[in-house]
Amino acid sequence: MKITFLGTGTSQGIPVIACKCNTCLSKSKYDKRLRSSVLIELNNKNILIDAGPDFRQQMLKYKVVKLDAILITHEHRDHIAGLDDIRSYNWIYKKPVDVYAEKRVIDLIKTQYSYVFSEEKYPGVPEMNLIEISESPFFINDIKIIPVRYFHFKLPILGYRINDFAYITDISNINNEELEKLKNLNVLVVSALRKKPHISHFNLNAAINFIKLLSPKIAYLTHISHLMGKHKDISKELKKKYNLHIKLAYDGLIINI
């Protein structure tokens, strides 16, 4: 399984428009973060988690010429704003793209992209095959996907486990039963917004406590705000404390599991 981090930034990305903080002004490529998304390549399938506003740029930059499925974590714009651009895959492969999400999220996609689902379709609209999922495991061909339920402030949303890899973003709380689904991981990706606490996201400490509780072989932090600081500084702090067991992800990072 090959995982490519297409974006590791929070909803505003880094740099933030018009911001003059040190992180936003940094010249390092590690401080350029598109909105969070990962591409999973497994058994000849290309599975994307989330399609935010940088979807087009990400597909071009990482030369993703085939897209078999998109798993959506939740309905916030930084996770679904790119769905209109699946049109290119529709044209080339002459079929809709499978989009997996839970019922509330499907309903909101239908509202936000009402022109796509209207009775009289405008020519050339994106074609998505919306597939409703729950907290129960499902399959994409022979690939087992295990949805993991957690909370983003009060909003119940989903992360995903595939084999020994799990992707948990925009989390602020999780129940003990769901934690069971995240045992014995090789790689855990979890969001860590910044150092200061936040009402709807794990901060750095909360993400680290979560990682310690689950003890995966290695953990990567994503969905990062400019307020976290520069990649180089945070990476140095993490290395000192956790000796490469917990790392800050960056755009373009590739891991093979």
- Residues in the interface with Zn ion (CB under 5 A) total 8
- The whole-angstrom separation of Cα 210 and Cα 81 is 29
SS3 content of the chain, % helix, strand, coil (to 5): 30, 30, 40
Q: Which of 24, 125, 146, 218 binds Zn ion (CB under 5 A)?
A: 24
Q: Residue 231 belongs to what H/E stretch?
A: helix 231-242
Q: Which of 31, 50, 68, 170 binds Zn ion (CB under 5 A)?
A: 170
Q: Are 37 and 6 in contact (CB under 8 A)?
A: yes
Contacting range for Zn ion; rule: CB under 5 A; set: 39-47, 103-111, 223-231, 232-240: 223-231
CB of 174 to Zn ion, least distance (A): 15
Nearer to Zn ion (CB atom), residue 9 or residue 126 = 9
CB-count burial class (<10 Å; 0-12, 13-18, 19+) for 149? middle
Complete edge-to-edge strand list for the sheet that includes strand 37-42: 128-132, 97-101, 69-71, 45-49, 37-42, 2-7, 254-256
- Sign of the torsion formed by the C-alpha atoms of 235, 238, 239 and 240: positive
Q: Which of 1, 12, 21, 257 binds Zn ion (CB under 5 A)?
A: 21
CB of 153 to Zn ion, least distance (A): 9
Nearer to Zn ion (CB atom), residue 16 or residue 158 = 16
Residue 78 in contact with Zn ion, rule: CB under 5 A: yes
Peptide bond into 15 cis (omega under 30): yes
Residue 16 in contact with Zn ion, rule: CB under 5 A: yes
Show the tokens assigned to 217. Answer: 């072989």
CB of 214 to Zn ion, least distance (A): 21
Residue 146 in contact with Zn ion, rule: CB under 5 A: no
Q: Which of 76, 161, 181, 231 binds Zn ion (CB under 5 A)?
A: 76
Residue 226 in contact with Zn ion, rule: CB under 5 A: yes
- Identity (one letter) of the amino acid at 213? L
Binding positions for Zn ion, 85-124, rule CB under 5 A: none
Residue 218 in contact with Zn ion, rule: CB under 5 A: no
Q: Name the site residues for Zn ion (rule: CB under 5 A).
A: 16, 19, 21, 24, 76, 78, 170, 226
